[in-house]
Structure 1
Amino acid sequence: MKSTLKLVLIILLLTYGIDKVVYLVLNKISDNVMTGQSIGKLNQFLSQKDSINLIAFGTSRSNHHIDVKKLNISSYNMGMDGSSIAYAATLIKLLPKGKDQTVILNIDPNKLFIDDYDGSDIKGLITKYNRNRTVKEDIKDINQDNVLQYFLWSLDYNGKALGIVKNYISPKYDYESYYGFDPLEVSETQAEQFKNTLQIESTYDCDKKKNINPLVWKYINVIKVFCEENNKTLIMLTTPTYEPVCKVQYVKLAEKLKSIEVTYKDYSGFFTQNKDLTYWKDKTHLSSKGATVFTEFLKQDLQKNNLIKPNN
């Protein structure tokens, strides 16, 4: 029995030691990666967040629709494909306290009125779990952590290590000129596929009695309070979709945000009177051409309402 316990102890100690060596090596590599969505975009945001004046957050529809440099030269687009409000809320809480900044958060009503949202998108920040207290606390708060991470820190890179190493060896782009906005170029094949999808009716379940997911509402309030207490101008908005569905939810969202005095701008139907298909990659994502047109209008509208100052 003693021999067995000793062997187990040795294995645990070796595992713990090897894990920490691997973790430190991965940290060293990842800290030098500034490209790609595995960690590069996050690293670049963390390196710039204290000095820039305007930051856009949200899903891929923020990432691909808002050319933030047209709104403010000192800006960054931290929209992330596959993310949702939990991911954005944690990053917003990492912004410098007290610095005057504009925070634009793209929110999509069709993703807010869902019963099963659990905040699992926050695991996109897992590489910072053992390196940033706010990230760790937020992940733990909604039970999206793994108990083994307390012992095996290298699990923070699970599923991301290969992408990080690839971008370390061969960066995808010149990050010094990159500011987070990823316009979508549309090929002839993609344009044809989009035309075909227009014949397919939406299957979205529009339940008029459904309310905003409680966890989503919690995050909205967390973001509101943080921005109020830290000199941030918060603008929540919804970028265009080809055919906005269940508009009753857009109205309900607007009413809820108005009740807590959060500025909300609904641009979902911006292109409904303009059926130029070259503005779209698919029903929910604008092409680079569409993003240019939308961002120009967004700039003028926000300036007209004194939500942002003229670019300089």
Structure 2
Amino acid sequence: MTGLRPRSPAGFPLMRLALHRRRRMIIALTLGMVVFEALIVVIATTVSAEQIFGAGGRKPPGAFKAFSGSNGDVSIASYPGLLGAGLTHPFWIALQLTAIGSLAAAAVASDVEAGTVELLMVRPVSRARLLAERTGALVLVSLLLNAAATLAVAAGVALSPDLHAAVPLGGVFAAGLLGFGFALCLTGPALAVSAAGRSRAHVVGATIAFGAVGFAVNFVALAWSKAAPLRYVSPFHYYAPGDVLAHGSVPWGQFAVLAGTGAAGIALAFRLLARRDLAP
């Protein structure tokens, strides 16, 4: 009689469905990340940083630390600085925000806006499971994008003696881990907005605002000494790949801040979703 027992659905169907529906976007973002980071490596190996930024003995302005992902003494006119620039470039940020904004909006807000969330709730699917599986899809995509960028940079460093002499491979993987922490930091607030919101546009807009405002605040804090305390409210203060590439170790305190912010946002999203009215 065991053959008559109803079969349970495959594990994590909502997560797999979220990934399947956006498979083309995920593939495009991943390929874009690999190609872009490979291009940064090629530029770094063919044109010296001094030629780009330090011609005639000039040094880049201190505010350029924001573009190399540095809070300390790592200049963009160096191999760690150039590679760090590839991991804080607006294109890199845009790819991360595209994935986070799209999948966070699809977690809750898109179904509320379309009026399909009630159909999901008719089935034996709890609110917590809905959000958990869709959060899992977003975390997996963020992990994939950062892994793709890390492996592209690591391959370039391993194949170039000059880069390898200046940038330890351990630093590349440490920077990749910190990049994943940065993605988590933005994922939490984006999911909280989705759990409370009724519009996909609100979630995407909030995600872009988190990234753009965070970068702007960090830039101003580095460029203007009176605004220096503001750097602590920006995720880009804690996401400093240039420093990590140069020093070769994971700054666990900074990673904890990024991941902790993401975890707090995700916890808030579950709380908001449990209490809200899902009627359109």
Instruction: Specify the TM-score bucket, using the shorter chain as the normaliser.
Output: under 0.3
The structure in which a higher percent of residues are strand is 1
Could you state the TM-score of these two structures normalised by the residue count of structure 1? 0.25
The structure in which a higher percent of residues are helix is 2
Could you state the TM-score of these two structures normalised by the residue count of structure 2? 0.27
